[in-house]
Structure 1
Amino acid sequence: MAPYYFSVLLFAVRWGYVLRGMGVEVPIGELFKANPAGLFMNNITPMTRGEVPQNPDGSPNFAAFPLGYP
């Protein structure tokens, strides 16, 4: 379990640097708690959010969205 929590800590530190570069200060403890939630969502959702399914020829597969998206 220690390597997992160490990697979560490294992710939190990395996000801290990114956010600090954008002028946002977030305590490392909050980032440490938020990272497992993000990892959970990345593992649970079936594909990257915001991605349009592609046909084998590379064209967008809009038939996957029966409600007329986009």
Structure 2
Amino acid sequence: MLELEKEMSEEFREFYLGRTKEALLEEEMELDGMRYFTGYTKEYVKVAVRADGHAANTMVRGRMERELSDGLYLMVEF
């Protein structure tokens, strides 16, 4: 049952790949030597935006490009 839940959750998140969404940025993190701000879309999909010029508690709009790590998706801002 847990495996099915994980699979359905992944399918839900992957549905948004290539789509334009808005997200609230919450915290800064480093992944593979790059700095990102992470946050969530209104659908609770966790996204990361390159940290250049961003700050916590700000809204961004962009296209969800690809999965960076388990459950974390790269959002490219417009």
TM-score by length of 2: 0.26
Q: Give the structure with the higher percent strand.
A: 2
Structure (1 or 2) with the greater helix fraction: 1
TM-score, normalisation: structure 1:
0.29
Largest Rg, 1 or 2 = 1
